[in-house]
Amino acid sequence: MKRNQRRHLRGRRGQAFADLVRGVCPEQILCVSIDVSKDFHVVLLHNGLGEIVIPSFEIDIFRTGFDQFGQAVEAAIADSTAQVILVGMEPTGHYYENLARHIQVTGQKVTIVNSFAVKENRRQQMMAHEKDDDIDVAAIGDLLRRGEGSSFRPPTGIYLQLQQLDRARLGELKIQTIYKNRVIGHLDRIFPGLILTKKAMQERYTPLFATDFWQCQTLQNLVRICPGPRQLAALSPADLVALFHQHDCRMGPHTAARIITYAQKVLWPDPEVVTLRRQLLATDLQTLDQVSGRIDHYSRQLQEKLAQTPYQFLTQFKGLPPLRVASLAAAAGDPANYRYAGQLFRRSGLVSGRDDSGARQRQGKGKAVTKTGDIYLRRALNDLLNGLILHQPVLRAYYHHLKQTKPVGVARVATIRRTVGILWATLRDQRADTLVLRGDNMT
């Protein structure tokens, strides 16, 4: 629907809500707002006028809490003779998902209210008189009665499997980053100057290897075999080559000599510190190997599941590797849940911050992207863009053109919006004239 053809101020979504409540007395619209947390939830029931039907109360996260919730809703429906029931909650981490699923099983549709909208709504004067514990649930309820929010569509089948596997993989990637930083911390104490991560330091000093530590197999083998500079300095090149060969690792005499020379110029740390840190390093390297193994396992499973979805078609194109496409499928879910690309983009919450008024038109300059929507979808789309602007000329040209007149953040959001439109059409039609195929798929 074009903007000049809209029948409602808020477009399709606003019109759908208007059709739902048309002709229904506001007193017969029951709003059930829920403030979700990890250990308990706060529930408030009110009508379409904002009048409280049942004051806020807490329910636990067990079956007893859900039964208490159901009884309260049934009582409120009977008392108010409600014709329309609206149930809404924030997408708080993963804590809301189990409750929302159970509510939908009972036949009640669940509306997911945007967290940023709730935060902004709290600032309204009408919320100032609520008790502290009731502010969030009241803000949710106020948005709910105005028709804000989107329908909760939980993934099922293959998309549920993709979602859980991808979230597990992302969790392991965070752990991997933690342990990589710990390893670097150990090496800074065992072998000062071995790893120069900052560009300024690499320009001032000549590093042992120009390649990034985590991409350099020789360096990784070195810190596992003999990380101490004092011990290295006492070896001959032939000794170091033999030591590497004993561990089935490659090493040439020229590289061995370079490593020994580098170790000799290091200001050697305290031997006791080195001894203790080498033990810690060995333990963390072992844990890091285990984490990396789990990441590989999840990655293989994701690619196997991806092959069972329409998203597999996207892996034929440059800049769209299978794991990134799998993350998109895991976050977006079944494409049948969307009627047009804008719905998918809106779910991501990628909206450039704006603070324009009258003659002050900064077009987003100095404003961060509004952090709303689905964080997993937002991450997936940002990751996809990083690859696409390198390999897809149309999107690369569009992005660089926007950067000439707009802030980088605004240009990225606009390019992602265009990317979603292209990917949506490609996914829907299972063909594309815009994207460039990978070399191994071109005829």
d(CA 228, CA 269) in angstroms, rounded, equals 9
The verdict on 357 and 223 lying in the same domain is no
156 domain-assigned: no
The verdict on 25 and 99 lying in the same domain is yes
Q: Is pLDDT at 4 greater than 60 in this prediction?
A: no
The verdict on 142 and 24 lying in the same domain is yes
Tell which residue, 339, 331, 319, 343, has the closest CA to residue 399. Answer: 319
Based on the structure, what is the number of domains in the chain? 3
159 domain-assigned: no
pLDDT at residue number 133:
58
Q: Is pLDDT at 361 greater than 50 in this prediction?
A: no
Digit-coded pLDDT (tens) for 392-423:
999 999 999 999 998 888 899 999 999 999 99
Digit-coded pLDDT (tens) for 81-104:
999 999 999 888 789 999 999 999
Let me know: does 58 contact 133? Beta carbons within 8 Å: no
d(CA 415, CA 418) in angstroms, rounded, equals 5
For 100-258, where are the E strands, in sequence order? 110-112, 150-151
The verdict on 219 and 107 lying in the same domain is no
Which domain range does residue 326 map to? 309-441
Q: Is pLDDT at 355 greater than 70 in this prediction?
A: no
370 domain-assigned: yes
pLDDT at residue number 46:
94
Digit-coded pLDDT (tens) for 226-258:
989 999 999 999 999 999 999 999 999 999 999
Q: Is pLDDT at 357 greater than 70 in this prediction?
A: no
Which residues, including other chains, have CB under 8 Å from residue 441's CB and lie 6 or more apart? 316
Token code pair at residue 373:
């929507």
The verdict on 50 and 82 lying in the same domain is yes
Q: Is pLDDT at 348 greater than 90 in this prediction?
A: no
Concatenate the DSSP letters of all residues of 396-427 into one string: HHHHHHHHTTS-HHHHHHHHHHHHHHHHHHHH
158 domain-assigned: no
pLDDT at residue number 230:
95
The verdict on 141 and 189 lying in the same domain is no
Let me know: does 179 contact 288? Beta carbons within 8 Å: yes
The verdict on 189 and 73 lying in the same domain is no
433 domain-assigned: yes
The verdict on 86 and 202 lying in the same domain is no
The verdict on 121 and 176 lying in the same domain is no
Which residues, including other chains, have CB under 8 Å from residue 176's CB and lie 6 or more apart? 288, 291, 292, 295
pLDDT at residue number 35:
93
pLDDT at residue number 132:
58
Q: Which residue has the tokens 């596992």?
A: 224
**pLDDT average, residue stretch 102-120:** 88
Token code pair at residue 20:
């739902």
302-315: b or e for each residue (b if 16 or more CB lie within 10 Å)?
A: bbebbeebebbbbb
Mean model confidence pLDDT for the chain: 88
The verdict on 171 and 117 lying in the same domain is no
pLDDT at residue number 263:
95
d(CA 371, CA 115) in angstroms, rounded, equals 9
62 domain-assigned: yes
pLDDT band, very low/low/confident/very high, at 189 (cuts 50, 70, 90): very high
The verdict on 345 and 315 lying in the same domain is yes
d(CA 5, CA 30) in angstroms, rounded, equals 31
Digit-coded pLDDT (tens) for 17-63:
888 889 999 999 999 999 999 999 999 999 999 999 999 999 999 99
Digit-coded pLDDT (tens) for 286-344:
999 999 999 999 999 999 999 999 999 999 999 999 999 999 999 999 999 888 898 88
